[in-house]
Structure 1
């Protein structure tokens, strides 16, 4: 059904005269008559019946005019929602890793709550490979992901990535071993991420520079659990410098800045015209 014809029918139900409808919509009486006749053909039932010299809505016409209220309201809401110049309103779905959620997204949400209260942000914690998959399936609108300078991400052609920040990583060891260098850890068991390959790729590059192949034994997602394994002497692994690790764990600084974790905000190409997504991306970029 043509929404313009629905609007004509709705105005006729309110005003009762095709002439008045034509004046209200800035058109001619003939156009209104033809539009409602075409609408009747679309739905397959008469919408008007004679009423002396005038016409009135049939029972079907009245029912359709009631539906038109909701239909036209939904169309207007959709147009407003998609208007790049409109106030951002809507639900924004974000998938991201914990550090970026804490460091970038939560402060952005606090600011947007004051400036754009119509945006509702729903947060899902995922590793980058999982976030990319969710973006591809349109199950989230924004992904907060990371790579390392030693293991750069391969971006899809339909993705747009905005750099957010970077952080230096070193090797977490028991505090008693804080005087050691990377080569001294060649015979240790190593811990890598269970849900992403980037840190293992970075580790293998670092190890190759130091002349050894790391023996990967444990695959752990949570940094807190990695801390526990290191403190217990069960292995060593990459950890962010400057982070407060559990007692008994130190993070060695590596030569040439070690491995730099780089955080990005990733969206599907062309989606930044949607006002809620554009507002969040602008806030993240300035954070």
Structure 2
């Protein structure tokens, strides 16, 4: 069975249209259609059926696509196994949230270059949803993502923990809250205060909602920003309350209050596609993340 044709079917099951399959695989829509027609002839059963002006998978098509995901992962794993004895080399495309890139990846680059000069890192700033989509499309090799202990996520790709950091409340000057949030009543002074959320994802909003739900009310989100510098500016001038990682430089600019009420941490994770965690260059990058940060780094093996 031709791997490229099988990959076209797997991608159609995932993205839903010939046009999107063409975008992901780099083939034109006509070429994708020809690949799928050839695969149907090869297996001897219809894999697609008309759905208005589009096509959808038949039951046989869905079954083959499910098998195909495992087959493609196994092929990738076999290729990586053959390459495992080679010195790390080639590009590693990394996407991650800004804090992870600054605290984990950038400090590791000099040591990585000295140890493995044939490895090149290509990085891009991306939030977790964007990073997972990039992995889906095979546009990156390694993702650095985050979630919260109070808002855990289910990752679609092979993941391993990189570390965690406590989250703090950032409050404007003069806000009448205690020095530590120990009980739901300690949050009461924030009931009528505006909150600051994230403009690129809903994780911060959901964290605020779950915190405030413990006290029995819903936060009022007024501003949405992505920059921690801007967030700190807004808190400083009394424009709202937010959450900040304890190790963020901006946490030193504002009044912060620890959250003893419930374990509230930001967790960092590494993500790779199934079957690619053993690629020597990817493992080299992950190993240097651990060395540069001092955090316990999990290296995916799937």
The answer for the alignment partner of 2:138 in structure 1 is 138
- Shift >4 Å, 4+ stretches: 79-82
Aligned pairs (5 A) from 1:243-254? 243-245=248-250, 249-254=254-259
The answer for the alignment partner of 2:268 in structure 1 is 263
| Structure 1 CA distance for aligned equivalents of residues 176 and 265 of structure 2 | 20
| Structure 2 CA distance for aligned equivalents of residues 106 and 247 of structure 1 | 22
Structure number, greater radius of gyration: 1
CA contact (8 A) 1:174 1:248 kept: no
TM score, norm. by length of structure 2: 0.64
| Structure 2 CA distance for aligned equivalents of residues 234 and 165 of structure 1 | 31
Root mean square deviation, CA, Å: 2.2
CA contact (8 A) 1:95 1:144 kept: yes
CA-to-partner distance for each residue in 1:100-130, whole Å, 9 max, x for gaps? 1122112322221111111100110111111
CA contact (8 A) 2:97 2:144 kept: yes
1:270 to partner: Cα distance: 0.7
Secondary structure of 2:174 counterpart: helix
Secondary structure of 2:134 counterpart: helix
The answer for the alignment partner of 1:207 in structure 2 is 212
Q: Are 2:220 and 1:224 aligned?
A: no
| Structure 1 CA distance for aligned equivalents of residues 176 and 278 of structure 2 | 50
1:210 to partner: Cα distance: 1.7
| Structure 1 CA distance for aligned equivalents of residues 268 and 125 of structure 2 | 15
| Structure 1 CA distance for aligned equivalents of residues 84 and 253 of structure 2 | 52
Secondary structure of 2:287 counterpart: helix
1:248 to partner: Cα distance: 6.0
Secondary structure of 1:175 counterpart: coil
Structure 1 segments unaligned to the other structure (5+ residues): 1-78
| Structure 1 CA distance for aligned equivalents of residues 248 and 176 of structure 2 | 16
Secondary structure of 2:243 counterpart: strand
Secondary structure of 1:245 counterpart: helix
Deviates more, 1:223-232 or 1:105-114: 105-114
Q: How many residues align?
A: 207
| Structure 2 CA distance for aligned equivalents of residues 191 and 274 of structure 1 | 40
The answer for the alignment partner of 2:110 in structure 1 is 110
CA contact (8 A) 1:151 1:199 kept: no
TM score, norm. by length of structure 1: 0.67
* CA spacing shift, 1:178–1:284, aligned 2, 3 Å: farther
* CA spacing shift, 1:138–1:235, aligned 2, 3 Å: same
Q: Are 2:88 and 1:97 aligned?
A: no
The answer for the alignment partner of 2:238 in structure 1 is 233
| Structure 1 CA distance for aligned equivalents of residues 96 and 253 of structure 2 | 29
| Structure 1 CA distance for aligned equivalents of residues 246 and 176 of structure 2 | 13
CA contact (8 A) 2:149 2:263 kept: no
| Structure 2 CA distance for aligned equivalents of residues 179 and 280 of structure 1 | 43
* CA spacing shift, 1:248–1:111, aligned 2, 3 Å: closer
Structure 2 segments unaligned to the other structure (5+ residues): 1-78, 179-185, 295-302
Aligned pairs (5 A) from 1:34-183? 83-156=83-156, 159-177=157-175, 179-180=177-178, 181-183=186-188
